[in-house]
Structure formats: structure tokens, C-alpha cells
């Protein structure tokens, strides 16, 4: 059995393709998981879809066949040609897949290193797949270790201190343009996580925020969390507001653009649109006094963040390597359990028979039977200690077959498969 990860991120796939691959919609998530599970060699699978990445993480029996099936399934659902996917995909296998997963969980592979959203997004992706019956113990173990790895990195480094996100980077870009944002008004389109984060960073800079969202209840709830600098407006006022104010941030989660040429009016002042959604929310023509920044356009600020955290990232990657080795050592120790059980069962049966023979022949008095059992138990326990420890380090088929031959035991291979 093998772990594999197929990854499309800001590193290998531009936003025009990533937005087609986006699986943020619940029905698309269910459909991709259904397509993946159609292959009997894909034992478990989950998908992670964020503004900067789409990933499939799976536990499979045949790597090459399953990689082809996964890419084909993505192509069928998104209509992105198979060849284009194969060209861009980063594919990780076995320890590489686990190392990559742990790096993702620790936000080391994020556009903004140290951002804090990815841990929650990963947990949500796992829960969605688990609730749909696509995940079991094997991916669960990996996710659990990934969370431990992220926690260890947070404790050992300052990489997540003063946490940043794509939303905070967008606000930082606005500060770079205007300097002091205090007293300005920004229109924030959407009321989901990315929009909420943008609102919080804007308000921290003393910006008045107008939230425009289709669901007014969600907008009102966000407003109540943000305080007096936040207000809400109906969706019908979107066109009016984006033509009145200079700063517009959008992250709705819609499948189609919500800001298009149809609602843009010519005005005399400069406007700056920050499209932090994938798929993108803004699809407009070129205007002299309108600048649009999509997720990938914020990379210059991201790189400065990367330079500041580079040394800490080196420490963090060392921890990822250690945790990857620890994970496979733990998996190996789990796989040794059926063999250890078989050895102990064999030793116990032999001890029982030999004690009964000794009592019949008078070598041991009946009154000493319990003491004899304790002594023999300690002897075979001591004898099996070293083999038990070594089995936890190495328990491949060659070793297990040799054990069966040498000790005339039968290792329960069905239990071994369940452990795997």
C-alpha cells in the first residue's frame, strides 16, 4: 500500500487554471470523491481546495494506475485537458507524500508561509471526506501526525508569530499604495472566511468597512463581530458602492465573476480592486484608473515575508523530516503487531504444555504450578524482547515469511492488512 499526493498550487499552476480546478463547491467535492472511489485500487482519498491549491491525497495499492485515474477524474469534472494536468501536477509518493502533507499542514508550502488558515482547511477537507465514507484510519493517522507536526513547529519556531494570510497581504498592498489607510472606506464583497479576515485587517488600520453580501444574515453576523467601523449594504447596491469608493476587496466563493464591466462606471479617481477569491470574482476590461490585484499578483509582498521567515523555515523543514520518519516508524510498529501476537501465542502454548508434562512426571509439585507459570512467562518474555523490538523496525514480507518458517507459526495476514 502507498500514500500519494497530487498537487496543483501557485507554484506550478497559474490562477486561470486553478480557478477551473477549484473544488470549493460542496457538490463538486462530492462528485470528485465519487469519481476517485470508482477505482478499486484507491482505498482512501480526500481533496483539499483553497485559493492557492487543489490537492488530492490518497492511500492506494497501485501508484501509477491511481495517479492516471485521479488526473482523469479531475479532467472529467473540470474539463481541463488531461495533458495539461499531467504537465503541471506535482506528484508525491510514499514518504514524499507524507513529507508534503506535513509541510502543507504546517503552512510551509503556502503562498504566505506561516499563515494560520491552512490547518483548519485541512481538517475540514478530511472531515468532509470522512463523513462521505472516503477516508478511513490510514489517512486519519496521517492527518493526526500532520497536526502534531504543525503544533511542534509552532512551538519550536516563530514562523506563525504575527500570523499573515492572503487577506492580510492584500491589505498590506493597499497600505503600500496609500500609506495611512485610517479614515478611508473600503467595500468588502462577501462574508466568508477570506472576506472576514480582510475586514479585520482593514478595521485594525482604522478603515470603515462596508460589507456587501447576498446573504444579509451572514453579513449582519459578521458586522456584529467587527464592531462600529463595520456596516452592511444590500447586494443590489454593489454597483453603486464600487463606483463610489477607492478600495474594493472581494472573496465571495461564487463560481462566476460578480464584478464585471456591466456594473463599472467611469469616475475621476483611482480605484484598487483586490480579488482574493478563487475562482476569481472580478472580470473587467482595462481601465486607466482601475488596478486589479488577484491572488498571484500579491507575490512581491509574499516574497518579502518569505525572506523574513527563511531561517525559521529551515528549522521547520527539519522538524517535518523528523516527523515523517517518526510516522513511518510508528506505522511499521503497528504492522508488527500480528507477528508479535503469533510469536507470543506460540510461546505461551509451548510453556503450558511443558508445565503440564513436568507436573505429570513429578518434576514440579502441583502446589508450585503458579510459580512455575510465572517463571516460564518471564523467561519467554525476556527471550522475545529483542525480536519484538526488531520487528517494530523491520517487518517486511521477507522477515514475516522467515518467522513463519523458523517458528512454525501462522501470522494473521488479514489483521496485517487492516493495520495497513
Candidates 61, 53, 84; CA nearest to 71 is: 84
Strand (E) or helix (H) holding 260 = strand 259-260
Distances (CA, A) of 140 to 46, 57, 229, 338: 10, 11, 42, 21
Number of H helices, E strands in the chain: 16, 12
Three-state secondary structure call for residue 136: coil
Give me the catalytic one of 51, 135, 149, 199.
51
Using CB atoms within 10 A of its CB, is residue 121 exposed (0-12), middle (13-18) or buried (19+)?
middle
Q: Do residues 107 and 113 make contact, with C-beta atoms less than 8 angstroms apart?
A: yes
Q: Are 189 and 250 in contact (CB under 8 A)?
A: yes
Q: Which position has the grid cell 472606506? A: 185
For residue 124, the tally of other CB atoms under 10 A from its CB is 11
**Count of Cβ atoms closer than 10 Å to residue 199 Cβ:** 27
199 is catalytic: no
Please give the grid coordinates belonging to residue 262: 456591466
SS3 content of the chain, % helix, strand, coil (to 5): 60, 15, 25
Cis peptide before 279 (omega within 30 of 0): yes
3-class DSSP state for residue 411? coil
Other CB atoms within a 10 A radius of the CB of residue 248 amount to 25
Report the C-alpha gap between 250 and 316 in whole angstroms: 33
Q: Which residues are catalytic?
A: 51
Amino acid at each position: 500500500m502507498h500514500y500519494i499526493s497530487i498537487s496543483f498550487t501557485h507554484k506550478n499552476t497559474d490562477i486561470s487554471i486553478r480557478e477551473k480546478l477549484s473544488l470549493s463547491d460542496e457538490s463538486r467535492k462530492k462528485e470528485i470523491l465519487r469519481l476517485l472511489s470508482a477505482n478499486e485500487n484507491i482505498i482512501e482519498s480526500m481533496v483539499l481546495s483553497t485559493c492557492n491549491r487543489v490537492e488530492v491525497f490518497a492511500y492506494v495499492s497501485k501508484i501509477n494506475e491511481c495517479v492516471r485515474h485521479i488526473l482523469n477524474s479531475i479532467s472529467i469534472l473540470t474539463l481541463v485537458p488531461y495533458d495539461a494536468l499531467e504537465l503541471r501536477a506535482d506528484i508525491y509518493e510514499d514518504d514524499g507524500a507524507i513529507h508534503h502533507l506535513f509541510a502543507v499542514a504546517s503552512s510551509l508550502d503556502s503562498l504566505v508561509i506561516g499563515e494560520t488558515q491552512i490547518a483548519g482547511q485541512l481538517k475540514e477537507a478530511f472531515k468532509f471526506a470522512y463523513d462521505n465514507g472516503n477516508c478511513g484510519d490510514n489517512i486519519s493517522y496521517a492527518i493526526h501526525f500532520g497536526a502534531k507536526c504543525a503544533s511542534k513547529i509552532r512551538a519550536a519556531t516563530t514562523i506563525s508569530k504575527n500570523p499573515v494570510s492572503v487577506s492580510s497581504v492584500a491589505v498590506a498592498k493597499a497600505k503600500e499604495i496609500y500609506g495611512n489607510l485610517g479614515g478611508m472606506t473600503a467595500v468588502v464583497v462577501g462574508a466568508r472566511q477570506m472576506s472576514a479576515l480582510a475586514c479585520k485587517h482593514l478595521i485594525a488600520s482604522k478603515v470603515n468597512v462596508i460589507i456587501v453580501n447576498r446573504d444579509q444574515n451572514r453579513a449582519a453576523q459578521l458586522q456584529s463581530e467587527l464592531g462600529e467601523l463595520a456596516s452592511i449594504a444590500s447586494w443590489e447596491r454593489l454597483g453603486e458602492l464600487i463606483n463610489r469608493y477607492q478600495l474594493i476587496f472581494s472573496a465571495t466563493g461564487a463560481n462566476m465573476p460578480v464584478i464585471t464591466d456591466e456594473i463599472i462606471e467611469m469616475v475621476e479617481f483611482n480605484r484598487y480592486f483586490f480579488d482574493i477569491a478563487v475562482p476569481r470574482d472580478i472580470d473587467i476590461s482595462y481601465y486607466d484608473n482601475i488596478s486589479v490585484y488577484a491572488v498571484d499578483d500579491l507575490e512581491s509582498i509574499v516574497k518579502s515575508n518569505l525572506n523574513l521567515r527563511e531561517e525559521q523555515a529551515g528549522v521547520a523543514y527539519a522538524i517535518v523530516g523528523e516527523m515523517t520518519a517518526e510516522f513511518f516508524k510508528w506505522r511499521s510498529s503497528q504492522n508488527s503487531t500480528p507477528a508479535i501476537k503469533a510469536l507470543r501465542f506460540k510461546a505461551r502454548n509451548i510453556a503450558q504444555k511443558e508445565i503440564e508434562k513436568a507436573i505429570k512426571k513429578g518434576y514440579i509439585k502441583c502446589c508450585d504450578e503458579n510459580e512455575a507459570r510465572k517463571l516460564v512467562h518471564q523467561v519467554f518474555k525476556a527471550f522475545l524482547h529483542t525480536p519484538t523490538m526488531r520487528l517494530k523496525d523491520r517487518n517486511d514480507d521477507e522477515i514475516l515469511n522467515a518467522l513463519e518458517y523458523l517458528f512454525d507459526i501462522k501470522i494473521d495476514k488479514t489483521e496485517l492488512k487492516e493495520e495497513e
